[in-house]
Structure 1
Amino acid sequence: MQPNYVNYQQDQSLLWKGIMAGALAGAALAMLDRETRNTVMHQFRQMGRRSAVIVNEVRSNPKETTLMLKERIQIAAASGKELMEDLKSASAHIEKIKQSGMEAVQNLKDTGMEIKEAGMELKEIGHKAGEAGHQIASGTTTTSAMPPAERKETLPGHSQGI
């Protein structure tokens, strides 16, 4: 397992070296253009001026700068904490919606099965009704389909003489 990890690290190293070499070559080619060179030089000068202002501010007012940085960090931390709470809340809402959707799908499946079963029962009733209609139309009836009085049978609990 170790040789694979070493090969992986070497591949990653070569990849980053290639990316850096490509970036440097691209930057060198871009610097051949006069307008690009002027823009880069202008941006570096502005960055140097800003850095000098920040260094002078820290030198002249170290406590104020420190307090300002602490305040900004606290604001950023509070914003981050609030963002995390909002994300947790949103995640909980999404989970509730997901659960509701899953319950709705299950309810639809259950309802579909109930409708299918009711349809099967109706089909069976229709089939029996069709058979009865066919028997009535043809004039043939089985004794089990006739009412008990016509079959000359007694109902349970009744004597034959009554």
Structure 2
Amino acid sequence: MYIRQFIQAHSEADDSFLQAQLRTIGSSQLDLYLGELSALQIADETILYLQKHHTLAPEAYRLYLSGSGAAYQLISLSDESEWVLRWGVVEGRHVHLHPARYSRYTLRVKANTLKSAVAVSMAVRRYKQPLSLALVNQVRTQWLGLAPIPSSLTSGTFARLVYLLDDKETS
């Protein structure tokens, strides 16, 4: 999982770098893909799909997207997960891809919950401390500029998300 690799690679990075990276997650909600396909496999399958449908070139891709009337298209990958294709906003990359809403192998999370879970996972590694409400609230207030949370929110989805992001989960 890309996020696990990011946590492992950047746990010791400067706080300003981490804050900037976490801000890119946004502030709404998103579907987090938890399936078996790697980021490279997802990209390769998407490219093959676009090549097969003769829509990989920028102008052909733009026409393909406009054909739905909604400026996006849905595709399914080999694990039956669904993905949304949109026009890219990153310079030199016209294809933007993200998991479809409530797709197979996804978990729908609020962006601030995901940011908090990523930041807490990094803090646990950095400070070699166990997950605690105090650590969660320290990270939320100091790194993310978010309000502290009550103890009831450190169980359930949030705790599950921190557990899923722990790289020991993959071994």
Q: TM-score, normalised by structure 2?
A: 0.13
Task: Tell me which structure has the larger Cα radius of gyration.
Answer: 1
Q: TM-score, normalised by structure 1?
A: 0.13
Richer in helix (by share): 1
Structure number with higher relative contact order (C-alpha < 8 Å, ≥ 6 residues apart): 2
Richer in strand (by share): 2
